[in-house]
A = this chain, B = another copy of it.
Amino acid sequence: MQADAMSDRAAWRRELYRIIFQHDTRGGKLFDVALIVSIVASVIAVMLDTVESIHATSGDLLYAAEWGFTVLFTAEYVLRLLCARNAGRYARSFFGIVDLLAILPTYVSVLIPGSQYLLVIRILRVLRVYRVLKLVKYVGEADTLMTAMRESRRKITVFLLAVLVLAVILGSVMYIIEGEQSGFTSIPRSVYWTIVTLTTVGYGDISPQTNLGQTVAAVIMMLGYSIIAVPTGIVTIELSRARERRPPPRRCPDCGEVGHDPDAVHCKFCGERLERGAGGYASSGASRPI
């Protein structure tokens, strides 16, 4: 009888697990859509609350909404802990922490009122969107992009470091040339201006006034215009390589069937545990809760 209860509970947990963590059943898809709507709505609510005129007229409503979303996400978090095969591992995973950070600030704000810095933590909720994105077919695409970016990370770092060194030197030169009167009041400020110019952002809050300064600025612009080609070239090449290097299909070690979802843990045909295999996918997130 106890074994029956056990297996009942196991069945219930398995069902819940399928809805919350997986995306291939109807219930799972509905859950995902509901979740994504709540996340986007709650992030928009947090953002709108900082607009003074909206805070003045609808502050109470937004406060209530914030508590509503928090209760909802808390329930979801508890359910995830309950049905995860290994609750501790889920809690320590990347998305486990993001899920916790999505609810903590509201509770903390009761204890430590007025802490504005909790805002940013609340905004981090937006990251949860990525978890749900797995439901759609965009995972493969995101994966190719991630692989390309991981591969080009080092070259981009070397490139950005070179840009930074260039910006420090050119910024100092501009500080000497322009001096105080045109806004180049210190080297850090000049370096800031140089980065604004090299990256072709060009705010115009600081801009050179002397002839020599404008000439050097023109050189810096041409430089920035040319070297933007470097990261582009790097990523293009890595993308074209990432594309060629598609992961092999995962095959069930028991029944030999293929066609499993990237985040599937068990074979959907015979229930046998799948190997972690298929490189790219496995490393693309922390969704396997066991």
Binding site for B on A (CB under 8 A): 43, 46-48, 50-52, 116-117, 119-120, 123-124, 126-127, 129-130, 133, 137-138, 141-142, 144-145, 148-149, 154-161, 163-165, 168-169, 172-173, 175-176, 185-189, 191-192, 195-205, 207, 211, 214-215, 217-218, 221-222, 224-226, 228-240, 243
Contacts and interface: CB of A to CB of B under 8 A. Distances in A.
Given A169-B124, A217-B192, A225-B199, A145 B230 contact: yes
Contact of A119 (B176, B191, B226): B176
Given A165-B126, A176-B120, A195-B218, A158 B141 contact: yes
Given A119-B175, A233-B232, A154 B168 contact: no
B234 A229 contact: yes
9 contacts: A50-B186, A51-B185, A51-B188, A52-B186, A119-B172, A199-B224, A200-B201, A225-B231, A229-B233
A201 B195 contact: no
B138 A159 contact: no
Q: Which of A185, A199, A200 has the most chain B CB atoms closer than 10 A to its own CB?
A: A199
A50 B158 contact: no
A122 to B, nearest CB: 8
A163 B148 CA distance: 16
Nearest to A144: B155
B231 A226 contact: yes
A276 B52 CA distance: 58
Contacts of A47: 168, 172, 186-188, 191
Chain A interface main SS type: helix
Contacts of A51: 185-189
Contacts of A127: 165, 169
B46 A187 contact: yes
Contacts of A185: 51-52
B120 A173 contact: yes
Contacts of A235: 229-230, 232-233
A3 to B, nearest CB: 46
Contacts of A173: 120
A147 to B, nearest CB: 12
A168 B125 CA distance: 10
